Amino acid sequence: MNINELPTPAVVLDYDSLQKNIATMAAIHPGRRLRPHVKAHKCSGIAALQVAAGHNSFTCATPREILGLIDAGVGSDFLLANEVLDHSRLSALADAQNDALITVAIDSDATLAAAVKAGIRSVIIDVNVGLPRCGIDPKSAGELADAARSHGMDVRGVMGYEGHLMMVTDRDAKKQQVHDAMALLASAHSDVGGDIVSAGGTGTHDLFAGTTVNEVQAGSYVLMDTQYAQLGYSFVQAMWVIGTVISTNEKWSVIDVGLKSLGMDHGNPSIKDHSVWFCSDEHITFAANEGTAKPIAGERVFVTPAHIDPTMAMHEVAYVANIYGDIVDEWPIDLRGW
Amino acid sequence: MNINELPTPAVVLDYDSLQKNIATMAAIHPGRRLRPHVKAHKCSGIAALQVAAGHNSFTCATPREILGLIDAGVGSDFLLANEVLDHSRLSALADAQNDALITVAIDSDATLAAAVKAGIRSVIIDVNVGLPRCGIDPKSAGELADAARSHGMDVRGVMGYEGHLMMVTDRDAKKQQVHDAMALLASAHSDVGGDIVSAGGTGTHDLFAGTTVNEVQAGSYVLMDTQYAQLGYSFVQAMWVIGTVISTNEKWSVIDVGLKSLGMDHGNPSIKDHSVWFCSDEHITFAANEGTAKPIAGERVFVTPAHIDPTMAMHEVAYVANIYGDIVDEWPIDLRGW
């Protein structure tokens, strides 16, 4: 089957570009230096390529992501880089501890208590390094680690996500701010102990030289989106939502990709050589730029999302295409949900 | 089970409010005068309540919505108010024509040809009434109807969606603009013939007196969202995404509802008596307003989406609660997909 025969809207991955991005990052952060974040793709088929490139440890945002990877037999060391209080989900993770090394982030007495109650063996202290979200005050990190150890837990180290710095455009300022944030993490680490100092994302992955960070949690680099493309890294777009032109006239055209098949929190998607006017539930209204042929009914159109993570989470399957546009594989987006 | 025991994020419906909204609209547009749009909820359990209130005809945005309602035994007259060129999906609809009356929107020779090829028997002419999206120029509608009849099709009438007018705030101006748009639809109808003149949404449902419109395609009124709430109708919020407080400090709190569980195209969601700071993939960072107690870890929080349609499409199940917060039913959101 070719892309031109796919039922749309459909997620299509460019296999070669995907592998190129994985290889590029593996050269920068080989093996355990990268703990790929699967929340960006939620697809064990992609995670399997990351394992093949040398990464066996993964970052996950939800229990479902960890349990799904274990079910798929992909990876061996999983970090739940998020706070969870749900007893049944934590218990399911605890039950899986004989199948894989599972480490759960905690940032409070409440999250520690929930992990203890569920029988979680390994934790990491999630430290606030400036993003107003989860994470304990760096000054209190050691105390929480001590409390965890008093329950017999293995405290593997610290993590801190400097998400507020991903899109800083001045590179010197960004580096300074990342290093300031990582100084907070290092300070917490000196109180906490353990082997792991985990941080980062695609937008800061190249700024950790001179810090104590020893694993980077990047995820978006594999597939990319228009927001991360602004940063000018060498990662290339490897995923699109494919649509079919269902209506067209002299002034505009409409495809069957809309805001139910695209993450919209970073704004409208892009279509090469065309201007996107607006998105509706099931439609994008767009027009060809000057010098580009007007779309015709039935034609397939490649849509580049503004934000990859929620877009992948909206689809059940990703179609893998070669450079001829032939579909060579179908990978379930099997890590969706919570 | 109570709301406080639900795994989160979770869609919760207030059964009484849902029924109140359905009754309010059924009093305004009883029976076939309303053709409820299921794209807003994608849930056959809710559609069944609309049938119980007297509506047997539904508007759908995707073949999946129609086939799912037929599978669920809900409704008997379905309008695909969208252009589809996909042969396998149109064929699946054609195969279901003995189980229900199925009418497919067409707006071009290409969409007519696709419907003919698949064996679709009934069509409606989708007319552009000002929204730059699908729909044929009103002047060409009669010609397309003639072409459809030449293929032996039943042309049931016209539809036109004045989506660009839903959020006009000046009521007199809005009424005038709706009537101008419906004059275009009436003009097309005089060329097309057929019994149906279908249009409208929740934001214009009360403005059709004096037009030829004989069925209204409203959908959002059942569940509502913060955008439609701005219009001041008597429909009440009947759906929330429930989150659990997973992290909290003196300045802010975090719940496990994020942009993977909320449609974000209309902006941030709302939390009563709190200020929403921002949404991440799996989190909302928010703070209690002055005079409101600070959230505590484990507490459940009701999040009101800015846009109901994409939010429902992100969840597998809706939990139905009574006024005590007890879960009295679970309805699959079974009409998702395409």
The letter for the amino acid at B223 is L
User: What average pLDDT does chain A have?
Assistant: 97
CB count within 10 Å of CB A95 equals: 13
pLDDT of A210: 97
* Burial grade of A173 (CB within 10 A; 0-12, 13-18, 19 or more): exposed
pLDDT of A297: 97
Q: Give the residue-averaged pLDDT of B178-201.
A: 98
Q: Give the residue-averaged pLDDT of A176-185.
A: 98
pLDDT of B9: 98
Q: Which of A298, A254, A247 is nearest to A274 (CA)?
A: A254
Is residue B84 within 8 Å of B90, Cβ to Cβ? yes
DSSP A30-62: -GGGB--BGGGT--HHHHHHHHHTT--EEEESS
pLDDT of B165: 97
User: CB-CB: which of B61, B256, B280 is closest to A282?
Assistant: B61
Question: A17-221 sits in which CATH class?
Answer: alpha beta
Q: Give the residue-averaged pLDDT of A240-259.
A: 98
CB contact (8 A) between residue B264 and residue A260: no
Beta bridge partners of B198: B159, B215
User: What average pLDDT does chain B have?
Assistant: 97
For residue B323 the two structure tokens come to 């006024």
DSSP B232-272: --S----EEEEEEEEEE-SS-EEES--TTSS--TT---B-T
CB contact (8 A) between residue B9 and residue A88: no
Distance set, CA A128 to CA A138, A179, B278 (Å):
6, 14, 16
Instruction: Sort residue A157 into left (φ over 0), alpha (ψ -120 to 50) or beta.
Output: left
User: CB-CB: which of A61, A107, A252 is closest to B132?
Assistant: A252
For A5, residues 6+ apart whose C-beta sits below 8 A from its C-beta are none
d(CA A80, CA A185): 18
pLDDT of A227: 95
Is residue B77 within 8 Å of B34, Cβ to Cβ? no
Measure CA B70 to chain center.
Answer: 18
CB contact (8 A) between residue A247 and residue B135: yes
Q: How far is A248 from chain B (nearest CA, A)?
A: 8
Q: Which of B282, B280, B275 is nearest to B252 (CA)?
A: B275
The letter for the amino acid at B330 is E
Is residue A79 within 8 Å of A105, Cβ to Cβ? yes
For residue A262 the two structure tokens come to 């695209």
CB contact (8 A) between residue B263 and residue A259: yes
* Burial grade of A112 (CB within 10 A; 0-12, 13-18, 19 or more): buried
Q: How far is A86 from chain B (nearest CA, A)?
A: 7
pLDDT of B130: 97
Question: B3-11+234-332 sits in which CATH class?
Answer: mainly beta
pLDDT of A74: 98
Q: Tokens 């979770």: give the residue.
A: B10
User: CB-CB: which of A82, A246, A252 is closest to B83?
Assistant: A246
CB count within 10 Å of CB A11 equals: 25
pLDDT of B76: 97
Residues in chain A closer than 8 A to B108 (CB atoms): 247-248, 297
Q: Give the residue-averaged pLDDT of B152-168.
A: 97
For residue B123 the two structure tokens come to 């069509």
CB contacts < 8 A (A, B): 136
pLDDT of A252: 98
pLDDT in tens, B44-89: 999 999 999 999 999 999 999 999 999 999 999 999 999 999 999 9
Q: Give the residue-averaged pLDDT of A72-80.
A: 98
Complex ipTM more than 0.90, yes or no: yes
d(CA B287, CA A307): 26
Residues in chain B closer than 8 A to A247 (CB atoms): 83, 107-108, 111, 133-135
User: CB-CB: which of A85, A107, A256 is closest to B244?
Assistant: A85
Q: How far is A26 from chain B (nearest CA, A)?
A: 25
pLDDT band at A268 (very low <50, low <70, confident <90, very high): very high
Sign for the CA dihedral angle at B197, B203, B205, B206 comes to: negative
For residue A207 the two structure tokens come to 């700024």
Q: Tokens 């036109």: give the residue.
A: B160
Residues in chain A closer than 8 A to B281 (CB atoms): 39, 61, 309-310
User: CB-CB: which of A134, A251, A260 is closest to B247?
Assistant: A134
User: CB-CB: which of B133, B263, B313 is closest to A254?
Assistant: B133
Q: How far is A65 from chain B (nearest CA, A)?
A: 13
Q: Which of A303, A301, A257, A298 is nearest to A281 (CA)?
A: A257
d(CA A256, CA A82): 35
pLDDT band at B203 (very low <50, low <70, confident <90, very high): very high
Q: Collapsing DSSP states into helix, strand and coil, what is residue A217?
A: coil
What is the share, in percent, of chain A residues with pLDDT greater than 70?
100
Q: Which chain A residue lies closest to B89 (C-alpha atoms)? A: A7
User: CB-CB: which of B9, B134, B281 is closest to A310?
Assistant: B281
Q: How far is B116 from chain A (nearest CA, A)?
A: 15
Domain boundaries, chain B: 3-11+234-332, 17-222
Beta bridge partners of A13: A239, A320
CB contact (8 A) between residue B39 and residue A248: no
Bond preceding residue B9 cis, omega within 30 of 0: yes
CB contact (8 A) between residue B246 and residue A134: yes
Q: Which of B50, B41, B45 is nearest to B22 (CA)?
A: B50
CB contact (8 A) between residue B264 and residue A265: yes
Q: Which of A1, A38, A260, A333 is best to mutate for the B interface (most B CBs within 10 A)? A: A260
Residues in chain A closer than 8 A to B253 (CB atoms): none
Bond preceding residue A295 cis, omega within 30 of 0: no
pLDDT of A285: 98
Q: Give the residue-averaged pLDDT of A154-173.
A: 96
pLDDT band at B139 (very low <50, low <70, confident <90, very high): very high
Please give the CATH superfamily to which domain B17-222 belongs.
Alanine racemase (3.20.20.10)
Residues in chain B closer than 8 A to A110 (CB atoms): 297-298
pLDDT of A233: 96
d(CA A256, CA B82): 9
pLDDT of A130: 97
Q: What is the DSSP letter of B304?
A: B
For residue A238 the two structure tokens come to 């490897």
Q: Give the residue-averaged pLDDT of A232-255.
A: 97
Could you tell me where the beta strands, DSSP code E, fall in chain B? 10-14, 57-60, 77-80, 101-106, 122-126, 154-160, 196-199, 215-216, 239-248, 253-255, 274-279, 284-288, 300-303, 317-321, 327-332
pLDDT band at A239 (very low <50, low <70, confident <90, very high): very high
Least reliable range by pLDDT among A89-93, A188-192, B303-307, B321-325: B321-325
* Burial grade of A308 (CB within 10 A; 0-12, 13-18, 19 or more): buried
Residues in chain A closer than 8 A to B264 (CB atoms): 263-265, 310
pLDDT band at B338 (very low <50, low <70, confident <90, very high): very high
